[in-house]
Structure 1
Amino acid sequence: MPSETPHRSGRADAVAWTPSEPPVPSGLGAPSETLSPVALLTRILALPGTSPAAPRRDPAADPPPGRPALALVFPGQGAQRPGMGAPWRDTAAWQTVQRLSESCGQDLADLLLDADADRLRRPDNAQLATLTLEMVMLRALRESAPGRRFAACAGHSLGEYAALVAAGVLTPEDAVRVVAERGAAMAEAADRVPGAMAALIGPGAAATAERLTADLRATAAAQVWVANYNAPGQVVVSGTPAAVAALAERAAEAGLRTAELAVAGAFHTPLMAPARPRLAAALARVPTRPAHCPVVANVDGRAHLHHPERWRARALRQLTSPVRWEGSQRTLARLLRGRAHPVELGPGRVLAGLWTRTVPDQPARSAATPEQLHALTAARLP
Structure 2
Amino acid sequence: MSQESSPRTAPRTEAVPFGVGLLFPGQGAQRPGMGEPWRDTPHWKVVTRLSEVSGRDLGQLLLDAGAERLARADAAQLATFTMEMVVLDALRMVVGDLRPAVCAGHSLGEYAALTAAGVLDAEDGVRLVAERGAAMEEADRLAPGTMTVLVGTGIVPRAQRLAARMRAERRAQVWVANINGAEQVVVSGTVEAVAALVDEAERDGARALRIPVGGAFHTPLMAPAAPRLAAAVDRTPLHPARCPVIANVDARAHLHDQERWRALMLRQLVMPVRWAGSMRTLTAMARGHLRVVEAGPGSVLANLARRTLPEGIPVRSVSTPAQVEALAAEWWR
- TM-score where L is the length of structure 1: 0.81
SS at match of 2:85: helix
Partners of 2:32 and 2:52 in 1: how far apart? 22
Shift of 1:256: 1.9
1:190 matched to 2:135? The reply is no
Question: Residue 381 of structure 1 corresponds to which residue in structure 2?
Answer: 332
Partners of 1:294 and 1:103 in 2: how far apart? 27
Shift of 1:141: 1.0
Native 8 Å contact 1:67 1:381 kept in 2:
no
Q: Percent identity?
A: 61
1:282 matched to 2:236? The reply is no
1:67-146 matches, within 5 Å, as 67-146=17-96
Q: Pairwise CA RMSD of aligned residues? A: 1.2
Shift of 1:378: 2.7
Partners of 2:177 and 2:142 in 1: how far apart? 19
Partners of 1:123 and 1:321 in 2: how far apart? 17
Shift of 1:192: 1.3
Question: Residue 366 of structure 1 corresponds to which residue in structure 2?
Answer: 317
Partners of 2:44 and 2:318 in 1: how far apart? 16
Q: Which amino acid aligns with 1:370?
A: P
1:268 matched to 2:218? The reply is yes
Native 8 Å contact 1:232 1:357 kept in 2:
no
1:317 matched to 2:267? The reply is yes
Shift of 1:68: 2.2
Instruction: Please say which of residues 330-339 and 126-135 is displaced more in the overlay.
Output: 330-339
Partners of 2:209 and 2:34 in 1: how far apart? 25
Question: Residue 246 of structure 2 corresponds to which residue in structure 1?
Answer: 296
Q: Among residues 150, 171, 188, which one is paired with 1:200 in the alignment?
A: 150
Native 8 Å contact 2:72 2:137 kept in 1:
yes
1:308 matched to 2:243? The reply is no
User: 1:216-260 CA distances to partner (integer Å, 9 max, x unpaired)?
Assistant: 111111100000001221101111111112211222233322233
Shift of 1:302: 0.8
Q: Among residues 229, 236, 241, which one is paired with 2:186 in the alignment?
A: 236
User: 1:51-109 CA distances to partner (integer Å, 9 max, x unpaired)?
Assistant: xxxxxxxxxxxxxxx74231100001011111100111111111011111111111111
Partners of 1:344 and 1:242 in 2: how far apart? 33
Native 8 Å contact 1:69 1:381 kept in 2:
no
Native 8 Å contact 2:219 2:271 kept in 1:
yes
Partners of 1:314 and 1:258 in 2: how far apart? 30
Q: 1:304 to 1:277 in 2, by over 3 A?
A: same
Question: Residue 356 of structure 1 corresponds to which residue in structure 2?
Answer: 306
Instruction: Please say which of residues 338-347 and 358-367 is displaced more in the overlay.
Output: 358-367
User: 1:266-285 CA distances to partner (integer Å, 9 max, x unpaired)?
Assistant: 11100011000000011111
Native 8 Å contact 1:69 1:380 kept in 2:
no
Partners of 2:310 and 2:199 in 1: how far apart? 31
Partners of 2:237 and 2:198 in 1: how far apart? 42
Question: Residue 252 of structure 1 corresponds to which residue in structure 2?
Answer: 202
- TM-score where L is the length of structure 2: 0.92
Native 8 Å contact 2:283 2:310 kept in 1:
no
Native 8 Å contact 2:21 2:100 kept in 1:
yes
Q: Which amino acid aligns with 1:358?
A: T
SS at match of 2:197: helix
Shift of 1:330: 1.4
Partners of 2:112 and 2:210 in 1: how far apart? 27
Partners of 1:197 and 1:129 in 2: how far apart? 19
Partners of 1:114 and 1:274 in 2: how far apart? 31
SS at match of 1:188: helix
Q: Which amino acid aligns with 1:73?
A: L
Runs of 4+, deviation exceeding 6 Å: none
Partners of 1:169 and 1:99 in 2: how far apart? 19
Q: Which residues of structure 1 form unaligned runs of 5+?
A: 1-65
Partners of 2:39 and 2:187 in 1: how far apart? 36
User: 1:340-359 CA distances to partner (integer Å, 9 max, x unpaired)?
Assistant: 11100001111101111212
Q: Which amino acid aligns with 2:50?
A: L
Native 8 Å contact 1:168 1:291 kept in 2:
yes
Q: Among residues 280, 292, 295, which one is paired with 1:345 in the alignment?
A: 295
Native 8 Å contact 1:229 1:322 kept in 2:
yes
Question: Residue 336 of structure 1 corresponds to which residue in structure 2?
Answer: 286
Equivalences, count: 317
Native 8 Å contact 1:186 1:272 kept in 2:
yes
Partners of 2:151 and 2:32 in 1: how far apart? 28
Partners of 2:200 and 2:292 in 1: how far apart? 36
1:216 matched to 2:166? The reply is yes
Partners of 1:260 and 1:134 in 2: how far apart? 23
